[in-house]
A and B are shown apart, each in its own frame.
Chain A
Amino acid sequence: MTDEARPSQPVPRTPWRKRLLRWEVFLALVVAADFALNVQLSPYFLSTETLSDVSFNFTEKALVALPMALLIIAGEIDISVAATMALASVCMGLLATTTASLTAIVGCGLAVGLLAGAFNGALVTRWRVPAIVATIGTMSLYRGIAYGILGDRVLKSYPPAFAFFGQGYVAGPVSFELLLFTLAAVLCALYLHRTEFGRRLVAIGCNKSAAEMAGVRVNRYRFWLFVATGVTSAAASVLLTSRLGSTRPSIAQGMELDIISMVILGGVAITGGRGSIVGVVLAAILTGLAIFGLGLINVPGVVMSLLMGALLILIVGLPIVGRRLRWIHV
């Protein structure tokens, strides 16, 4: 035993990081390929206007995908994000019919998101309902309240300045949406990969009770992650509502599945404990490029989701098939 207790030699790079890197390189290659394809498809693709147009295709979903990624890494999930967006949109729309200021409207939307997220968080932490069950329920509840309040009406009396959030540009071709998303992505990446909180989050996702035993306040983390997801959904709702200029209770319908697909596409393990923000951002860009490219050749939305669904299974399944056939050495 003594001869085996030798100190270890440091190994240049870890297998874990290798695997992660490979995943992101793979995604980046797919993004590049798609980019090249789009250039082929349309001569106008490389113009700055087109490229900033592309960003509108994914920023709202991608914005929500960021806290969703953190949530999934921590071993939870939130199915109610799109319903939260709808509820926030309806509340903002109602307030906009009064003489409320722009700040009040946006503040109201964010507050609704905060409450919705806090309720989800309370269900999961205080009442110990499994996250997927709890948020399937609140998805129905939040969307239902939106329908109940609005019925088949449409709200569109937003003040003119409101249009800035979803349509405005900050500098040159950089839209407000893109700026907000970029800032949020950098923040999330730093939070996850560079702070003690991020490390605890990963530990929670790997094994909740061991993390708890090691002094991590697991429920506090989970609760605030749900709140963050709620608030971010509301922010995405501000962007979407502003871009569309109107609110129906069916706004953002089905978007939760797109968002979760984006996160998984980004290499986040659905079982928790593993994932990176870079991957999620790449997946978001990929989605945006693909949707834009398909739009160029007039592919309808439902077929685009078909292709995204196939891509999801392919991208998650291929490495597994590869490992089986020993293409990739583990």
Chain B
Amino acid sequence: MSNDEPSVNAPLLQLSGISKSFGGTRALESVELALYAGSITALVGENGAGKSTLVKILTGIHQPDRGRITFCGKSVRIRSPAHAQQLGISVIHQEAVVFDELSVAENIFVTARPRHWGLIDWARMRRDAGRLMERLDCPLDPGLLLRDLSVAQRYLVQIARALSHDARLVIMDEPTAALSHHEAQLLLRIAAGLRDEGRALLFISHRFEDLFAIADRYVVFRDGRNVAEGLMPGTSVDTLIQSMVGRAIARLYPKRSVALGEEILRVQDLSRAEEFAHVSFGVRRGEILGVYGLVGAGRSELMQSVFGLTRAESGSIELDRAQIRPRHPADAIAQHIAYVPEDRQHQGAIPSLSISSNIALASLAQFTRHGWVDGERLTRTVGEWAQRMQVKYANLEQPLSELSGGNQQKVVLAKWLLTAPRVLILDEPTKGIDVGSKAAVHALMGEWVEQGMAIILVSSELPEVLGLSDRVLVMRRGRMAGVLDRTEADAATVLRLASAA
């Protein structure tokens, strides 16, 4: 192949026949993908469809078993993350890949610190970093340590890093998942700006509204293959979902009508310094109480206090009109309150432990006779639950980490249901899981409230909250901004309450 500038219509990056297996499982199977300069390609697919494997191949973390990668008209083998950067491929990862103890400037230039006579030129690094952050409309002091920044700001630092080595292909993996509405809008503007500069973008997201707002083309992955592609303007959410799951999903947010019973949990005037103040709400049998707020509104902090993980400094929590004072999650569990935390990897699940140990962990006492664990009964019960939750697994003793995100979340839910909760607090239960699992979780929630459970649903996804909740509690900056009934809760009202000054 001789010296050749890619022609205008030739793709910047072309994958042909890429396959990759891990052990016995095929992650990618003859994948074809083309990305063009000056264009944003949306990559959608359920979790486990092979998106993250693809990203890891494009960044040199994994090598494909078969197939060819062509970049700028040349066939390449991407050897390592550093090599990918040299080629001009940058990834902005879902969970910010940053260094808390290093400054903004150093995080941006961590791979290519400007030097002067072989020594690091700190003054220039700061100057250049300041300039890059300004280009992103985020004029941060380059000397700040990363641990003092917000989630959105950390994300922007990563984008600045991609800009610093002038990446020709930028891959964004779930960039808006952790951002508030306003922050997400800012990010989408930046992404559009990058495209207009002539870069190629691969945008991976589960949020369709974002994709429709900025993407030019789409590619759908299912079970390790690319199953559909086309131009974004000519398609609809339904078509995309249909190709993702291989069938039509009737409705994303089915709401079952359940007769509400008496109030089970009552939180009165609860406050904790710096986190939340004077929050009161109640939840009834058969009710789903949605709790909406922007990221950082104090929702999780509030729920963690109810669950006994932290201690509220004033106010009261009542269960069946009797005051309780949970000082530890174990106390809350004993009162049949369950909390599914937002951070699945670090708090919800124990990835290195087996599926059965994960499911049994919160209710081991059930399987214990005179101090001894009845292994047989445990395996039987756990297996029943895993099947009831439709977990896809090979065997119960395999480590949880081998399952996809959606299946891990089902295991976490099974763990909590095994404690027979009367009040179930779900904190972002469908964050980062695929459409199929999401629908399954929503359907299960409907079943549970029918059986008389009370559910508190904390979510940043407005359609989810509006679609499933009987009432919506809106929080803003640690305080209650309002409680809306299902009939009066619409997107505009809720958003206004959540963000109004």
Contacts and interface: CB of A to CB of B under 8 A. Distances in A.
B357 A203 contact: yes
A206 interface: yes
B70 interface: no
B347 interface: yes
Contacts of B309: 212-213
B67 to A, nearest CB: 24
B341 A200 contact: no
Contacts of B328: 215, 217
SS class of chain B's interface: helix, strand, loop or mixed? mixed
B368 interface: yes
B392 A4 contact: yes
The listed residue with most A CB atoms (<10 A of its CB), out of B309, B348, B350, B398, is: B350
Interface stretch (A10-18, A162-170, A179-187): A10-18
A11 B360 CA distance: 19
A273 B362 contact: no
B352 A273 contact: yes
Contact of A199 (B339, B352, B373, B393): B373
Contacts of B351: 207
A306 B388 CA distance: 56
Interface in A1-32: 1, 4-5, 7-11, 14-17
Contacts of A14: 354, 395, 397-398
Interface in B327-370: 328-330, 332-333, 339, 341, 346-354, 357, 360-362, 364-365, 367-368
A5 B390 contact: yes
A207 B345 CA distance: 10
B341 A213 contact: yes
A213 B372 contact: no
B415 interface: yes
A152 interface: no
Contacts of A9: 395
Given A214-B329, A216-B330, A216-B361, A206 B436 contact: no
Nearest to B332: A215
A215 to B, nearest CB: 4
Contacts of B368: 195-196
A118 interface: no
Contact of A10 (B361, B395, B399): B395
Contact of B364 (A4, A199, A210, A212): A199
A215 B330 contact: yes
Interface in B406-432: 415, 419
Interface residues of A, number: 31
B387 A213 contact: no
A101 interface: no
Interface in A168-213: 194-196, 199-200, 202-203, 206-207, 209-213
Contacts of A210: 346-350
A190 B277 CA distance: 48
B391 to A, nearest CB: 9
Contacts of B371: 195-196
B246 interface: yes
A86 to B, nearest CB: 35
B250 interface: no
A215 B333 contact: yes
B353 A5 contact: no
A9 B357 CA distance: 18
A149 B390 CA distance: 65
Contacts of A212: 309, 329
A9 B386 CA distance: 13
Contacts of A207: 346, 350-353
A194 B367 CA distance: 11
Interface of A: 1, 4-5, 7-11, 14-17, 194-196, 199-200, 202-203, 206-207, 209-217, 273
25 contacts: A5-B392, A8-B395, A9-B395, A10-B395, A10-B396, A11-B394, A17-B397, A195-B372, A196-B371, A196-B373, A199-B361, A199-B364, A202-B357, A203-B350, A203-B353, A203-B357, A206-B350, A206-B353, A209-B347, A210-B347, A210-B349, A213-B309, A214-B329, A217-B328, A273-B353
Q: Which 10 A-B pairs have the closest CB atoms?
A: A14-B397, A196-B364, A11-B395, A215-B330, A215-B333, A214-B362, A207-B350, A215-B329, A214-B361, A206-B350
Given A16-B399, A206-B353, 20 more contacts: A1-B246, A1-B247, A7-B387, A11-B394, A11-B397, A194-B372, A196-B364, A196-B365, A200-B361, A202-B353, A203-B357, A207-B352, A209-B347, A211-B350, A211-B361, A212-B329, A213-B309, A214-B329, A214-B415, A215-B329
